[in-house]
Structure 1
Amino acid sequence: MMLVVKRILTYVVMGVGTAFFALPVLWLLSAPLDDTPTYAVRPPRTFSLDNFASIMDNRYAVASLVNSTILSLGTMVLVVSAAALAAYALSRARVPGRDALIYLLLLLSSVVTGTAAMVPIFLLIFQLGLIDSHFGVILVLTGGLLPAAIFLLKDFIDTIPPSFEESARVFGASPLQILRQIVVPVARPGLATIAVWTVVQVWGSFLTPFILLRDPDKQPAAVLVRTFYTEGGSPNLGLIAAFSLLYSIPVVLMYLLAWSRYGFRFHGGIKT
């Protein structure tokens, strides 16, 4: 009897938790199609595509999605490339204090892109002449995400048997050839996880692009959302819902594609 009661309570808690997370998604799917959306989750009273038409008429909307794509892919390429090289080196090199260095980098990564560091970051980017430049934003975001990416990827590469590399080294392979032809193919699920994680982090980044990009034509979608409020601070729910739905689709599709291919099973390099 007690087992049945515990199982029922478990299902109830799971149902409540699922409903708690499902309500915002249901609102996001229904509100853009409603001519007069509210905060309530309900079917559209008057089915309309006017909200999407208004988004398409906004000269900055589509451009902001393109800008978000540029920032996300650019940061992802730098983070994955640099993290793969650094994680491989830290995994194989026996350097005193290696683990302490990794944890220190991970700790400092929470400061690099934080609010407290924005003044020195702004001054540095200004002195480099990269204000209002996508490349400057990509460099700052890469610096903030790289330590955590190295930390995650190193644990994955640690599980790859060194015997694979030793065999290749016997046949005269260079370290870069070993990394490219042996380590990277085996660590591909880990690299995919880092890539998706990086894109998600950059896709939703607001503070850094908002401060470093002054031209509205260069600002990403996360910054553009603020323009869907009136001067009094009241949100235009129809435009916010429609734009948020369009804004979410690329990341969701990328996640589903990577999940269907790799499953995000962080087992390590070798499947048993």
Structure 2
Amino acid sequence: MTPRQMVGRIAFYVLIALITAFMAIPVLWLLFAPFDRTPTLTASLPEWTLENFAGLLENPYALTSLANSVLLAVASMVLVTALGALAAYALSRVRIPGRDGLLYVLLLLSSIVTGTAAMVPIFLLMFELNMIDSQLGVVLVLSGGLLPAAIFIMKDFMDGTPRSYEESARVFGAGPLQILRDIVLPTVRPGLATIAVWTLVNVWGNFLTPFILLRSPEKSPAAVVLYTFYTEGGQANLGLISAFSLLYSIPVVAMYVFVNRRYGFRFHGGIKR
């Protein structure tokens, strides 16, 4: 290795180290600030205390909101994963004129007409269906917004499943649902896991939809309750916000670690090529 190459490699490693340190600062703040008696916006060693978590326990909606977030996220995850898998399997196996064009249009519209742009007609629709202040209504709205992209992703996994497996199962008398349950779904488990985690993360951090559609504080998820830790003048209660943010991030991080260890987020099906 020439001196010039060595200098370039050292500069590259130094740059990577600086970027890593810069990206680690918010994580360090999230780990230290909840245990600091007087947290600030800088990451520093805390004056160790549990008063911030004690303050959360005094809030009647803090822990309830975490349970509400779990309910909304899990319900949407199950709905999007189940319907996405069924629709993707149908689109993958059934020849429909304009199938690919329809799929791209759905994906395009779901990307352009976001929740913010469509909030007024969504609110009017939920009002007509008498689903204002209904967690079921929030689940349906969030799931409907995520389904087009989920179907688009899952179709690639379905296309990678050899049809010879299904044909062999049909020879032995298996029906369509049995083939889907016993042949196709076990093969595309990494895709199902990817869609499940993606849906959970999107719903877990969603603020606008539950903020507009839910009226009762006891039904609000954590993303909405976190907003109440600001004063009317916009001053943030950093102690409560940091403690609540730490609790708020644990379920998603735990699920990511579990799925990553189980599947590794491989973007291909279970068939080895």
Taking structure 1 as the reference length, what is the TM-score of the superposition?
0.97
Matched ranges for 1:193-232 at <5 A: 193-232=194-233
- Over the matched positions of the two proteins, sequence identity in percent amounts to 67
Q: Distance in 2 between matches of 1:113 and 1:176?
A: 34
Q: Distance in 1 between matches of 2:15 and 2:204?
A: 32
Q: Distance in 2 between matches of 1:178 and 1:112?
A: 36
Q: RMSD of the TM alignment (CA)?
A: 1.1
Q: Distance in 2 between matches of 1:14 and 1:88?
A: 42
Aligned partner of 1:106: which letter?
Answer: L
Who is 1:60 aligned against?
Answer: 61
Whether the aligned pair in 2 keeps the contact of 1:109 and 1:143 (CA below 8 Å) is no
Structure 1 stretches of 4+ with a deviation exceeding 6 A read: none
Matched ranges for 1:215-254 at <5 A: 215-254=216-255
Who is 2:30 aligned against?
Answer: 28
Change (3 A) 1:144 1:184: same
Whether the aligned pair in 2 keeps the contact of 1:84 and 1:153 (CA below 8 Å) is yes
Partner secondary structure for residue 115 of structure 1: coil
Q: Distance in 1 between matches of 2:109 and 2:231?
A: 38
Q: Distance in 1 between matches of 2:113 and 2:253?
A: 27
Partner secondary structure for residue 144 of structure 2: helix
Who is 2:174 aligned against?
Answer: 173
- Tell me the CA shift for residue 184 of structure 1: 0.5
Q: Distance in 2 between matches of 1:145 and 1:78?
A: 10
- Tell me the CA shift for residue 218 of structure 1: 0.3
Who is 1:164 aligned against?
Answer: 165
Q: Tell me the alpha carbon deviations over residues 204-252 of structure 1, each in whole angstroms, 9 at most, x when there is no partner.
A: 0000000000100000000011111111101011110000000000110
How many pairs does the alignment contain? 271
Aligned partner of 1:96: which letter?
Answer: P
- Tell me the CA shift for residue 113 of structure 1: 4.4
Matched ranges for 1:9-24 at <5 A: 9-24=11-26
Structure 1: any 5+ residue segments left out of the alignment?
none
- Tell me the CA shift for residue 112 of structure 1: 5.1
Q: Distance in 1 between matches of 2:153 and 2:99?
A: 15
Q: Tell me the alpha carbon deviations over residues 33-72 of structure 1, each in whole angstroms, 9 at most, x when there is no partner.
A: 000011111000x211000010111100011001001100
Q: Distance in 1 between matches of 2:15 and 2:103?
A: 39
Change (3 A) 1:211 1:111: farther
Matched ranges for 1:141-156 at <5 A: 141-156=142-157
Whether the aligned pair in 2 keeps the contact of 1:132 and 1:212 (CA below 8 Å) is yes
Whether the aligned pair in 2 keeps the contact of 1:67 and 1:221 (CA below 8 Å) is yes
- Tell me the CA shift for residue 114 of structure 1: 2.0
Whether the aligned pair in 2 keeps the contact of 1:31 and 1:241 (CA below 8 Å) is yes
Q: Distance in 1 between matches of 2:9 and 2:179?
A: 51
Q: Distance in 2 between matches of 1:14 and 1:174?
A: 54
Q: Distance in 1 between matches of 2:39 and 2:79?
A: 41
Aligned partner of 1:21: which letter?
Answer: M
Partner secondary structure for residue 71 of structure 1: helix
